[in-house]
Amino acid sequence: MTVPKEMPEKWARAGAPPTWSRKKPSWGTEEERRARANDREYNEKFQYASNCIKTSKYNILTFLPVNLFEQFQEVANTYFLFLLILQLIPQISSLSWFTTIVPLVLVLTITAVKDATDDYFRHKSDNQVNNRQSQVLINGILQQEQWMNVCVGDIIKLENNQFVAADLLLLSSSEPHGLCYIETAELDGETNMKVRQAIPVTSELGDISKLAKFDGEVICEPPNNKLDKFSGTLYWKENKFPLSNQNMLLRGCVLRNTEWCFGLVIFAGPDTKLMQNSGRTKFKRTSIDRLMNTLVLWIFGFLVCMGVILAIGNAIWEHEVGTRFQVYLPWDEAVDSAFFSGFLSFWSYIIILNTVVPISLYVSVEVIRLGHSYFINWDKKMFCTKKRTPAEARTTTLNEELGQVEYIFSDKTGTLTQNIMVFNKCSINGRSYGDVFDVPGHKAELGERPEPVDFSFNPLADKKFLFWDPTLLEAVKMGDPHTHEFFRLLSLCHTVMSEEKNEGELYYKAQSPDEGALVTAARNFGFVFRSRTPKTITVHEMGEAITYQLLAILDFNNIRKRMSVIVRNPEGKIRLYCKGADTILLDRLHHSTQELLNTTTDHLNEYAGEGLRTLVLAYKDLDEEYYEEWAERRLQASLAQDSREDRLASVYEEVESDMMLLGATAIEDKLQQGVPETIALLTLANIKIWVLTGDKQETAVNIGYSCKMLTDDMTEVFIVTGHTVLEVREELRKAREKMMDSSRSVGNGFTYQEKLSSSKLSSVLEAVAGEYALVINGHSLAHALEADMELEFLETACACKAVICCRVTPLQKAQVVELVKKYKKAVTLAIGDGANDVSMIKTAHIGVGISGQEGIQAVLASDYSFSQFKFLQRLLLVHGRWSYLRMCKFLCYFFYKNFAFTMVHFWFGFFCGFSAQTVYDQYFITLYNIVYTSLPVLAMGVFDQDVPEQRSMEYPKLYEPGQLNLLFNKREFFICIAQGIYTSVLMFFIPYGVFAEATRDDGTQLADYQSFAVTVATSLVIVVSVQIGLDTGYWTAINHFFIWGSLAVYFAILFAMHSNGLFDMFPNQFRFVGNAQNTLAQPTVWLTIVLTTVVCIMPVVAFRFLRLNLKPDLSDTVRYTQLVRKKQKAQHRCMRRVGRTGSRRSGYAFSHQEGFGELIMSGKNMRLSSLALSSFTTRSSSSWIESLRRKKSDSASSPSAGADKPLKG
């Protein structure tokens, strides 16, 4: 918020703009942030947010009122509270108040305890973060302060491996020139190290006494969610200094490989960019919950209609008939007319008929969901043995929605990939290395591979590095000059930093994991990068230490897509080494390498077909005179005031020409185990997967190919990279036109304009023939998500089989999810592993956290968590589908049995003078839903299956009924209600008709109220028990015990209530001694019960038999197949390896940062101290299924596309 600001006069003289010449903003907004170092009194005037964060919803005082308010927003809870109030009025209540208040209080208490437990853990997490310790400079002394007490303007000290407490301006560090290294995995998901640097004027403030005197003031942009941008100015000593994002350390980052640093707090708590990107916690409820709220309102309307009908009947009956019996059946004192009697009767029937939606429904739903959650927690097939991490259902309210997911939004780094690069293959002088051949000369599969190559000859080898082709090591040992030059290039052409904590223990710190993989490969093959200075590189070549003079680093950037170094060897020979993307480097080779180029190109195509990231290596000899001349031109270009980058690029282009080809490398960006299979299986289940990542476009596209989201069989891959609104709109328009043109070419008969006129987005999906993919960058996505373009973007994206969004911010991830939720009305699931994924996890209907390498922020914000992406298929196709199936069957049966139970009262009203007399006795009404019918339906809702779990995975099409909401919807609800009403009609009128003429064995009249009540009640319990037996698809011992046990309990309680014992103890409550025994001893009664059961059940059996034979669904077919092949081995899907040619994709250090080479040459980042560096763990590569059977579709398949399908921009 904005408050009056003070501007020091000396800064005004230094050129600072006047602050108060503009109009004050409205209260609650902030136009700029102003923070003065070491001056809390000044900074407190602005009332900036404290560094305390809060994700909890309640405190001790607000819990009860707020939680009850939230619970009574549920229509059902309000409905039952209303009924409870009615039952407290004696004139209208024919049932005791405890029949409603006990279950209502039980439901409210259970829910409140669950909400309190969830919020307790949120409080615990908040306290854990807020109470972290930080060293704050106060009154010239470093003091330990809790994070929540850190204020804007404080100077704090960070030490190695500590989390950054707030958004800081870096002032100084233990490294030369104020450098420090950070890891930003919690922000953008990238685990490679990044460099930040203090401005020169503060980099010397390493002494506490100097920092205590520092009184500079920062004026900068207000709090925002842009992670990659910062604009501000430091005013100090009558000068002003520009500030950028390179000077900032953001909350959530971790200080790495830096002993200490000092920073000035600019943004704290909720104002930090991390918290600005965290979406608000939203109350999530399933589509079934929302439907049930609607149905409860409908049922209440139906209940009112029945009450009105019976009330009118009561008023007419009292007016026409009741007046004749006033002598011995007088009205109550308060009743003075037939109309008022009908009015009271209306409320009495509302109470009696309220069991159409008993409160036990909601208790049962929560119990079933809890059971499903435990099944997820206990699933051993979702337990990660390596990390000792089980799957966890962190909520119990969303299980059935796992069976209805249509869109999955996934992070990339750490979710799809392990972020581990492996040197897999290489091509040197026309020969490919990396494949292992068996004796007959065929390529050996992963499981058939022999022992990995033995690098024991090299004492400096990384023991974690694995390579399977021994011929490459043999070539190195034999002194092959091409092989030696190949690895010499890899050991020299990079920006990796090396540290040696102990003798022979090398630790590499790389800007990107792929650079680390290449240098580690050279290290193991005998070319060990040992150390560097600003002007030298020392390499141990086959045990001999050789120092090269580093003359120049021609740095990498996204336009050049290559990197070069120029070195002078000990003999004085100058050579340029270059590595880069094949699409760039192959055009810069000398014409004499044409034959080698053709061979290497074939190898590159082979590597690309296996989804590997490729690089081409080349060199060029330079003579001394040419180099001196070139170096002078490079120096002049670097000093140019204007167009410096263009001039340098031109100078680099000149020297990087006519190079000699050495070979190529192939790196595997290791996916998590089972990712391609999981994506393929989920795609077959008609689930669309979008990847939303903070990584660069090239990295994301590579991963897209590796996990088979993108394939060369696709008709086209559209890449949207526009920087303006017009450019993005034009690229999206062209993409849609191409898709429509393809559709018209196969004879769909639609025009694009006709399609646009449709209000349904699905029309585009129906019209598009062929498979397309969309790749869009973050800056383009920002325009695409604007209000006037979001529909165009969504329409284009939904027409594509795969969508990849690159360089997106955490907030943009949430906006994409919200866009799909808004217009597609589909169930969405977001999955990620870092703090940068929290916002989309909270926004999606279902949030899944991967407990990986990037902290636990995503897990804490998620609804479900596990350790590997592959478990997602089991979570959805098994647990999700079963949960949806079970909940739908439970609801259908529950509404059926309660309408069958309640509607008997309605029919009885026409025969009892509409007097609100109940058919059943009070105890049966109380126990019906609590004891007699509760456990069988719970057993079905918890344990039922239509097909075994193996079949659920084998036939992913079984998942589609949930997406289409086929098993429980308004139509199914009305069918259940109709069946319940039909049953109630037979349940009342068959015994009524029999009892009208029937007699006992002794000839006396059988018809009496209690005998009739026992007969109807017994018929009802037997019918609904048989019905649930028909509905149960998977019988367990528990189902048998609950169904037959409930029947036994019914008869036991029935006979007990009519026994002498209870009559002796409670003579006023149990008056009808022996009634049950006498009634059920009559053959006529049992014949009536059997007749009622048969007439109620036979139509259901007949209908299901006909449907099974005439129109079976997929689950019926699967069950039939299972029975036929019961003794045969399950037939597996045919899987074949498909080689992919073309579409080579460069693997050059895609997360590499421009400018690091210049930093090395300056010597600014040379270490003065030795800290342990993270080593890159390399693991044996894993194979995956190249392709799965294509999804069967009713629509005609599009013609196969051409062999060469370049990415379209």
Side-chain half-sphere CA neighbours of 833 within 13 A: 23
The CA-based dihedral angle spanning residues 62, 67, 68, 69, taken in that order and rounded to the nearest 10 degrees? 90
Question: Does residue 469 have an active-site annotation?
Answer: no
Of 921, 894, 892, 893, residue with least CA distance to 905: 921
Counting DSSP H helices and E strands in the chain, the numbers are 43, 34
Residue 468 contacts residue 453 (beta carbons within 8 Å): yes
Residue 1085 contacts residue 1015 (beta carbons within 8 Å): yes
Phi-psi region of 1142 (alpha: psi -120 to 50; beta: other; left: phi over 0): left
Phi-psi region of 611 (alpha: psi -120 to 50; beta: other; left: phi over 0): left
Q: Looking up tokens 């929605």, which residue turns up?
A: 401
Helix (H) or strand (E) holding 663: strand 660-671
Per DSSP bridges, beta strands 155-159 and 179-183 are: unpaired
Of 821, 770, 1116, residue with least CA distance to 955: 1116
In the set 411, 582, 712, 946, the catalytic residue is 411
Query: Tell me, what DSSP letter sits at residue 357?
Result: S
Residue 74, amino acid: E
Contacts of 910 (CB under 8 A, 6+ apart): 313
Whole-number Å distance between alpha carbons of 362 and 358: 8
**What Å distances lie between residue 1011 and 250, 699, 1025, CA to CA?**
78, 78, 21
Of 578, 557, 556, residue with least CA distance to 566: 578
Tokens of 135: 């060293």
| Residue 855: strand, helix, or coil | coil
**What Å distances lie between residue 764 and 302, 758, 768, 798, 861, CA to CA?**
41, 9, 6, 8, 35
Which residues in 544-626 belong to E strands, given as ranges? 544-554, 562-568, 574-580, 613-622
Instruction: State residue 466 phi and psi, 5-degree precision.
Output: -125, 135
Tokens of 1100: 């259901």
Of 243, 110, 68, residue with least CA distance to 167: 243
**What Å distances lie between residue 1192 and 685, 689, 715, 874, CA to CA?**
10, 18, 18, 21
Whole-number Å distance between alpha carbons of 168 and 152: 9
Whole-number Å distance between alpha carbons of 733 and 891: 46
| Residue 1036: strand, helix, or coil | coil
Residue 964 contacts residue 1090 (beta carbons within 8 Å): no
Contacts of 888 (CB under 8 A, 6+ apart): 288, 400, 967, 968, 972
Rounded to the nearest 5 degrees, what angle is found at the Cα of 1061, between the Cα atoms of 1055 and 1067? 100
Query: Tell me, what DSSP letter sits at residue 746?
Result: T
Contacts of 982 (CB under 8 A, 6+ apart): 1096, 1099
Of 762, 805, 755, residue with least CA distance to 784: 805
Whole-number Å distance between alpha carbons of 1203 and 669: 25
Tokens of 1029: 């037996």
Residues tagged active-site: 411
